[in-house]
Structure formats: C-alpha cells, structure tokens
Amino acid sequence: MDLAVLAGILSTGLFAMSYLPMLVKAARTRDLSSYSLGNLAITNVGNAVHSVYVFSLPLGPIWFLHSFYLVASALMLVWFVRYRRPGNGPTGATTGATTGMTTGATTDTATDASTSPPAEVAHRTDAAAVS
C-alpha cells in the first residue's frame, strides 16, 4: 500500500469521525434549528453533482468518504424537514438556544424575551418619552 492510499484511508476515517457528533446530536435532540434549509439543500445538490466526478475515479478511499458525505447530508436534510415545527418562523424551528425558552414550548411573541428590547434600550426609550 502506498503512502497516498494510506493517507486517504486515514483522512477518510478522521473526516467521518468529525461528522459523527453532529449526526448523533441531531438524531438525539431533533434540534436542527442552527442549520438552514438552503445550506442543506445546496449541500445535497453539490454532493450529487460531485458524485459524477468521484465515482468516475478508480475505487478508493474517496469513494467511501464521498458516500459517507452523501448519506450524512441527506440524513441532515431529511431530519431538518421532518423535525421542524410548522408555524415557528421560516425554518419552523424554535429552541431555547434562539429564544431563551425551552424546546417544545409554545412561543407567545408578547412574552418572548427575544422580541423585547434589552433593558438599557427600554430604559432609554422611557427616558426619552419623559423628556
């Protein structure tokens, strides 16, 4: 086995291992609100087009790495569409990370902390109204 193939095998394993925490977290929490539909869709289209090139190469580590990317990006897109909640914004996902509320809680924009101005802005506004 030459050095190039060994490097390809090693890098394939490393790249695949770097994706696993993201995939496990997405599967476990079903929270993909930090991803955008556009990015996931373009990634899948790019991977499909890139497949024409990759699979024209001789069988090697790049085939396994690209196949892993194909499956991982397709899973992320499917999970994004499947797990988003309808009616909660453009991506349909509302989580504690973006609104300060717990996942699964209904959001009332009148009481949602993310729609209220920071205290110092509200204070300046009140002071300006008094002047």
101 in a structural domain: no
Residue 87 belongs to domain with CATH number: 1.20.1280.290
105 in a structural domain: no
72 in a structural domain: yes
Dist. CA 69–CA 131, nearest whole Å: 60
Count structural domains, the chain: 1
Q: Three-state SS string across the chain, please?
A: CCHHHHHHHHHHHHHHHHHHHHHHHHHHHCCCCCCCHHHHHHHHHHHHHHHHHHCCCCCCHHHHHHHHHHHHHHHHHHHHHHHCCCCCCCCCCCCHHHHCCCCCCCCCCCCCHHHCCCHHHHHHHHHHHHC
Give the pLDDT of the chain (131 residues) as one tens digit per residue.
Answer: 799 999 999 999 999 999 999 999 999 999 999 999 999 999 999 999 999 999 999 999 999 999 999 999 999 999 999 998 765 555 444 444 444 434 444 444 444 444 444 444 444 444 444 44
Q: Per the structure block, which two tokens stand in for 68?
A: 């892993």
107 in a structural domain: no
125 in a structural domain: no
Domain of residue 36 covers: 3-93
64 in a structural domain: yes
